[in-house]
Structure 1
Amino acid sequence: MKSKIIITALLSMSLFSCAQEAPKVKHKKSMSSSKENIKNVKVVNAEDPICNMKTAEFLKDTVVYKNKTYGFCSVYCKDEFKKNPEKYAQK
């Protein structure tokens, strides 16, 4: 009986630790950022890899990583991507 409780507790802990939640991004308002979206730029991602906004609707900035252009809804999201691009880049 005691071993069932321990196994259940361990399984529960492992499930909770593996659950990934989308990052909660608070976009910083920057004086240098443009209010207009970038037009006619082809990017490899349909969603911002940081906050999951649709890049087609809110493309504000881009970065080229491994010969692919990634689009972002803000400078903040681009900067987060640049800190660890392997984590967010499409394979």
Structure 2
Amino acid sequence: MKFNILMILLSVSALSCAQETPKVKQVSKMKPKTDLKGVKVVNSDDPICHMKTAEFLKDTIIYKGKTYGFCSDHCKKEFKKTPAKYALK
């Protein structure tokens, strides 16, 4: 009886170790489509989340002839919904 239990435990252990570990797909770091260093924007803070755009400029949009900078695509999309609400006066 003890021998049978020992054989079952060894079989289960061997089978579980024989399984291949799942491979994790490495995500590459996304690079911006364009280099935004040196781009002059009219706002020093993101108009949506108020993050400093000079440090985290990821995207821009031109509204009424002025270039606005954003920390993310999400903030840019929010600005596009109601630009008059966030545009500098």
User: Secondary structure, in 3 states, of the residue corresponding to 2:84?
Assistant: helix
The residue type equivalent to 1:78 in the other structure is K
For residue 41 of structure 1, the aligned residue among 28, 39, 42 is 39
- Larger-gyration structure (1/2): 2
For residue 63 of structure 1, the aligned residue among 44, 61, 64 is 61
Report the count of equivalent residues. 60
Residue 48 and residue 70 in structure 1: after superposition, are their counterparts in 2 closer, same or farther (change >3 A)?
same
Q: Which runs of 5+ in 2 are unaligned?
A: 1-28
Q: Which runs of 5+ in 1 are unaligned?
A: 1-30
Q: Give, in angstroms, the shift of residue 32 of structure 1.
A: 6.5
Counting aligned pairs with the same residue, the percent is 67
Give RMSD over aligned pairs. 2.1
TM-score under structure 1 length normalisation = 0.60
Counterpart position of 2:74: 76
TM-score under structure 2 length normalisation = 0.62
